[in-house]
Chain A
């Protein structure tokens, strides 16, 4: 109703100033303008991905306060119970119970914490080592560069999932192994991009001046070249988030990721595989969570890349 009143008021004003560049706006046109405005904002700013990623971080930060039940607590009466908002759904669990009667909602929230921690540590390890190698490779060039880049090429030429699975066989399943394996996945991309930028910056006048004044190689890399590659590091890290969450979920799905009994979206989707016929939500709810987060991460990465360095768009 409020909109309609406002509409007539504006129409009056427009009628008064008829002959201006203003034209009378119909109600439909106003709706259209609001929609177009919203679409523009959504296109220009990553609002929805931002909200999803915020919820992810919020869930991770306050998981124990948000969880209605203990995510590890088993209540066999609630085995495979449907979400409470279904007809004849569970009376206890909002998103239903998993095959051993644990609360799916609490497990979803708990695994945000695990996912964020695992992805944060692995991306930090991967990006830091990748950046360091990229700087060394780009700055020194020559044989060092050749060796590092060939190692990167070879690593990229190997089937990473099988290698990670082999690592899990050898070292057993643990958070350290998981973080290490995921870090192995993220460093080659960082090396390539940082090296390319370092090669370019190395030729800049101020680097030459620093060299002439007697700065050491380490100092030049740290003080003069590294800051120039920072936007690349940020973009690689953000773009890598989606991939890493996806890989973590895949590994957990295969039973080689987050060690049981800790919840993980991938492992939760695997739990429901046997019950697809009667209790599809056990798999679909965590699966949807993965899609939302991965796509939000990719969107955010794309947006940051376009913002920080449009020349990277080709990659």
Chain B
């Protein structure tokens, strides 16, 4: 974090001109990285599919009767196994780019449909969890920073500490134990009709707990840093009230840090959804992932990995751009 305001001297115009080129370079660099990251994901998924031996064995596993000689050979031609591995990779990549993701081994349905049916449930849950995480984490972080050293700060920091040490799956179990088994407040095991808030509470807390703790910690340290700066001190010295300084001067600069965290929160949701959805029997992508693992349904899991990677890389790219708009001081590297 540099100084919040650059002094308005004449060289500013010169810097602005330099930055136009730098801006374009920065955007292009980030875009290139996004593309390379996605390609990296495809390479990882593809090599995994070929590392486990002949991929045709994935098809032999389920039926329990093995696989006939003719089917084995026809599968080989179908999957292009008679060609060298790099060629296979590009053929596979070409299929993916044309939107042909293959079929699920267990249900024979197109993978894209299998995933498409599940996206909504996970998306809604992640949204509620994100709102929860932000609504808990950011205000508590501000409070903790403003009341630094007080007992309030202490309690909040202990909460954050627990947030990091509490395994997601165990949090889910404890929540079910308290609120479903003991008090019978919230139902568990279904998603409910339409958008029923009652069904979302426990899974969203489970999924949003870790982000809440992370938001809290980052907001707190960012706020503390900003509150120490000269311009906040100046604002206080010239008679601006404490409330205005905190909400107007400090917060707006401190919020940039939690914003950058949002990408990591998203990737955390992808990992956390696997756990939370398993516990709450949520019909989303996470539970799909576990089901495919139990069935050895490789086509589905590989597309799932690709899908989430693209989602994540895309969000990181968008956040970088948003970051540019929000903070003109960003270094173009």
Residues of A that sit less than 8 Å from B by CB: 150-151, 153-155, 157-163, 165-171, 242, 246, 249-250, 253-256, 266, 269-270, 272-273, 276-277, 280, 283-284, 287, 290-291, 294-295, 298
Contact = CB atoms under 8 A, between A and B. Distances in A.
Given A249-B167, A253-B275, A269-B173, 4 more contacts: A153-B37, A155-B40, A158-B44, A254-B293
Contact of A287 (B164, B170, B278, B305): B170
21 contacts: A154-B37, A157-B37, A159-B308, A159-B312, A162-B289, A165-B289, A166-B45, A170-B48, A170-B298, A171-B51, A250-B168, A253-B169, A253-B278, A255-B294, A266-B169, A280-B177, A284-B173, A287-B173, A287-B174, A291-B167, A295-B165
Contact of A161 (B167, B176, B270, B309): B270
A158 B168 contact: no
Contacts of B19: none
Contacts of B275: 250, 253-254
Contacts of A165: 274, 289-290, 293, 301
A157 B313 contact: yes
Most buried by A among B44, B45, B292: B44
A168 B167 contact: no
B166 interface: yes
B270 A162 contact: yes
B44 A250 contact: no
Contact of B48 (A166, A242, A269): A166
Contacts of A155: 40
A294 B290 CA distance: 25
Contacts of A246: 167
A290 B171 CA distance: 12
Contacts of B305: 158-159, 162-163, 166
A122 B298 CA distance: 25
Task: Name the interface size band of chain B.
Answer: 35 or more
**Chain B residues touching A, majority SS:** helix
Contacts, number: 133
B302 interface: yes
A290 B309 contact: no
Most buried by A among B37, B181, B296, B312: B37
Interface in B281-314: 289-290, 292-294, 296, 298, 301-302, 304-305, 308-309, 312-313
B122 to A, nearest CB: 12
Given A242-B165, A255-B294, A256-B293, A284 B174 contact: yes
Contacts of B44: 158, 163
A171 B317 CA distance: 33
A273 B308 contact: no
Contacts of A280: 177, 181
Contact of A254 (B161, B290, B316): B290
B262 interface: no
Contacts of B48: 166-167, 170
A159 B177 contact: no
Contact of A169 (B40, B170, B298, B313): B298
The 10 A-B residue pairs with the shortest CB-CB distance in the complex, in nearest-first order: A170-B52, A295-B165, A287-B170, A161-B271, A154-B40, A159-B270, A154-B37, A159-B308, A253-B169, A294-B165
B165 A291 contact: yes
B169 A159 contact: no
A298 B167 CA distance: 13
Contact of B167 (A167, A277, A290): A290
B302 A269 contact: no
